[in-house]
Structure 1
């Protein structure tokens, strides 16, 4: 019996409580005494919060990781300085001149064609398509773009849509220099918006504003009308809905996959050896992004035109979208994450916060009932 009492007292001594940490005279009554083990009730919540901070895969999708500096010693620093002089003092002015020549050639041909051939729509569209491909070639040249295209060149056919992962607005330019796509894109302000409403409008591009709920119905109708037209330019959609940093793919929107047409996956992968092509639109304007590309050594990229896919019997549009995302992710070596890219532009749902609060409150009530 004494042995049992001894072991019980030893167990009591081993149990951490607040007596060891409170000053004398401030110890609560025995029936209200708190033990440190009671504080462990919130450990699941703390663990979840810490895990969210440590392994935040959502933030990683939209984070640009700068390359490690290599000019860290006296031998490499002079070479780095020479590179800066070459890039900013020689390559950048040369690239600006190339781009300016491209715009002069483009506008001098585009304006007459656009206004003088209004009665010959088929011929006008064909020439405008070639001119847009030309100016995109000048843009890629202004970055010293090294782009490798794999697979057959897209052809103009009805009832088909092309979908690609999205890293930057230059995705459109790189794909456009090969084939004049009609793209669905967020409406932008400034000079980019001017190009959208004038030159790109001639390609049959479709613009939307993600803050306008009514735009979804209008855009859905325009998409269906476009894919039905036999003479319309191939439709290009970036179903992620936002730029991702070319290491991950976020959830594909189902709009492109419920049109009842053939879906042609396109995988785009950038090599960060010279520059990170990811455009963080929340931190820099597209003009700044272009200047960053034009002052780099080169933009290196691979583009794969993959096998067309059709929805399988019994397959939902969401399952179809995930299957196509698998194909693109595997080909480009990207990691899939189960996030909606539009969360980048919005706060967490109040319902989600209330649900978390309710779970925590219920756990505390159960603990108090046990006490």
Structure 2
């Protein structure tokens, strides 16, 4: 009896893996079934209370920050300034604003929240044990869903992930035996990407497909995980003459193996950070490809770091040059079903977390091409593209990049600059007020408001 049950269980898993693989090879899909599945999961989640009350403020908003106390980048990006230092004020007001800005940053800054787990107001049920406050029926439903995710979804996704790796090996061997045409390379890339996405449990919808990049230029997008590359390449229709030129940083381990397989069937440009001239050579090769007639679009993530989709980090300006066509692509994630953000965790742990989730639901929107205007700088063009993507996703456009978060020396340098600016502002205002006084001293009436009396 037990053997028969196990045989039936294994046949269901194997049938799901084989049927999904066949559909992908034939260029088909499960149709509306994934959407019905997500609706069912959302319906189950409604039986559980919200994690915290909903708010009109964009997540995450613990406090209501004063805009004049915000730290803003200068146009040169080498420094930053506080808005309250740009208007003439007495030194007491400056000191109060500086203290308020510091307290607000301690309670909640505007950068660190982008490198945490993706937020979700509701109960996702993506946990390992039930909460004590849940009723018996809620606990029962939870453990049923836990068994479903680990006993059904995870083994199927693991099988599909291994199938994608096996397919990548076959594609690499095929490229050794014959010279693949562009159409054949694109076909291998699409099939591999869709198999990999199925193994990750990703469900992707594509909007404005008529705006999908088809010519030379740079396709830029916000970035959450390495899976973003597969999600965007999988949107290429079968029969297309080309997909994307894949770019990224050289890795080792599992990711390095994936990159090595991609080298055989796709056009790639990798940056080696260990090489002294790696970044310069990387940019030179990108610029060369962008200016080729009849070339392919290059896929690039100008944020430089992964975030949790709560804001779009400041774009690096290197590729936002005059004469380069930019194809913006916006990726929005629904964290109710799973979080694709890859932060500081090991990649194997990231795979386990993603593959055991309900799903990773992406909404990809292709936007109209953008070009450099004659009256704007490279920084302004990069910021314009950044805002365009952030508005489409529905999140703020950040004023700093991930380098500020991960590099402690940069944090220390900016901190010293802030101290110097505030000290200079306080000193200049104090000297000005003293010089305007008859006796060279500052009276208390110059500091206190007019409606305040001293007793």
- Give TM-score scaled by structure 2 length: 0.65
User: Which one of 294, 304, 316 corresponds to residue 253 of structure 1?
Assistant: 316
Indicate if the aligned counterparts of 2:310 and 2:395 stay in contact, CA closer than 8 A. yes
Q: Which digits, 9 at most, give the CA deviation of each residue in 1:50-105, with x for residues without a partner?
A: 12112301111212145454654122111111111111012111221222233334
Equivalence map 1:312-327=2 (5 Å): 312-327=373-388
User: Which one of 157, 176, 182 corresponds to residue 215 of structure 2?
Assistant: 157
1:19 alignment partner in structure 2: none
Q: CA deviation at 1:125?
A: 3.9
Question: In the alignment, is residue 304 of structure 1 matched against residue 361 of structure 2?
Answer: no
Question: In the alignment, is residue 218 of structure 1 matched against residue 281 of structure 2?
Answer: yes
User: Which one of 269, 275, 285 corresponds to residue 346 of structure 2?
Assistant: 285
Q: CA deviation at 1:230?
A: 4.3
Q: CA deviation at 1:254?
A: 1.2
Indicate if the aligned counterparts of 2:269 and 2:282 stay in contact, CA closer than 8 A. yes
User: Which one of 105, 116, 124 corresponds to residue 52 of structure 1?
Assistant: 105
User: Which one of 216, 230, 234 corresponds to residue 177 of structure 1?
Assistant: 234
Structure-2 separation of matches of 1:58 and 1:338: 9
Equivalence map 1:1-371=2 (5 Å): 45-65=98-118, 67=120, 69=123, 72-74=133-135, 75-108=137-170, 110-117=171-178, 120=179, 123-152=180-209, 154-158=212-216, 160-179=217-236, 180-200=243-263, 202-210=265-273, 214-230=277-293, 232-258=295-321, 260-280=323-343, 282=344, 284-347=345-408, 348-358=410-420
Structure 1: runs of 5 or more not aligned: 1-38
Q: 1:201 to 1:163 in 2, by over 3 A?
A: farther
Q: CA deviation at 1:357?
A: 4.2
Indicate if the aligned counterparts of 1:161 and 1:264 stay in contact, CA closer than 8 A. yes
Indicate if the aligned counterparts of 1:267 and 1:303 stay in contact, CA closer than 8 A. yes
Structure 2: runs of 5 or more not aligned: 1-91, 237-242, 432-439, 443-455
Between the two proteins, the alignment pairs up a number of residues equal to: 325
Structure-2 separation of matches of 1:234 and 1:97: 32
Structure-2 separation of matches of 1:266 and 1:170: 15
Structure-2 separation of matches of 1:317 and 1:201: 34
Q: 1:332 to 1:358 in 2, by over 3 A?
A: closer
Q: CA deviation at 1:271?
A: 0.7
1:34 alignment partner in structure 2: none
C-alpha RMSD over aligned residues? 2.9
Q: Which digits, 9 at most, give the CA deviation of each residue in 1:140-186, with x for residues without a partner?
A: 2123332110113535423x211111111111110111233222212
Q: 1:196 to 1:361 in 2, by over 3 A?
A: same
Q: Which digits, 9 at most, give the CA deviation of each residue in 1:243-264, with x for residues without a partner?
A: 1111101111112211622111
